[in-house]
């Protein structure tokens, strides 16, 4: 794909000039020159278009993935809040298993933090790499 900072190639000729050149050209040299230029520039344009489509699809999938991960994190935090609420209102009693509640809370918090680190690394990395 050509870079936009390059100097533009020769200016585009007028259609009448092209037709006059082609009529005077018996060996087909001029016509093939224009055909080569057209093929080259059309391929560059097609590559650019495909690159833009790829970027659009990349960001669409990144958006869907981030929404899924936000939902997963919200569920994990909701679970932890529900667990704390049930223990706080004495609906659930973990007095026989004193180690269980802290272990569940620490595990769930570690999962939320780990997922957040994964999200930051996966979703906010540079796309050019």
Domain ranges within the chain, ordered by starting residue? 15-123
CB–CB of 80/110 below 8 Å?
no
Q: How far is CA 47 from the centre of its chain?
A: 18
What is the rounded CA–CA span in Å between residue 16 and residue 70?
61
User: Where is pLDDT greater, at 101 or 71?
Assistant: 71
**pLDDT tens column, 33-83:** 777 777 788 888 888 888 889 889 988 988 888 888 889 888 988 988 898
Length of the chain (residues): 129
Q: What is the mean pLDDT of residues 8-24?
A: 76
**pLDDT tens column, 116-125:** 888 888 777 7
pTM of the prediction?
0.53
């Amino acid at each position: 794909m050509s870079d936009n900072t390059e100097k533009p190639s020769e200016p585009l000729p007028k259609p009448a000039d092209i037709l006059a050149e082609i009529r005077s050209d018996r060996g087909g040299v001029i016509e093939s020159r224009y055909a080569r230029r057209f093929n080259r520039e059309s391929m560059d344009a097609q590559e650019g278009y495909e690159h833009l489509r790829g970027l659009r699809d990349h960001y669409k999938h990144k958006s869907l993935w981030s929404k899924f991960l936000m939902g997963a994190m919200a569920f994990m935090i909701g679970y932890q809040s529900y667990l704390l609420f049930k223990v706080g209102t004495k609906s659930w009693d973990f007095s026989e298993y004193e180690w269980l509640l802290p272990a569940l809370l620490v595990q769930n918090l570690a999962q939320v933090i780990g997922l957040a680190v994964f999200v930051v690394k996966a979703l906010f990395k540079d796309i050019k790499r």
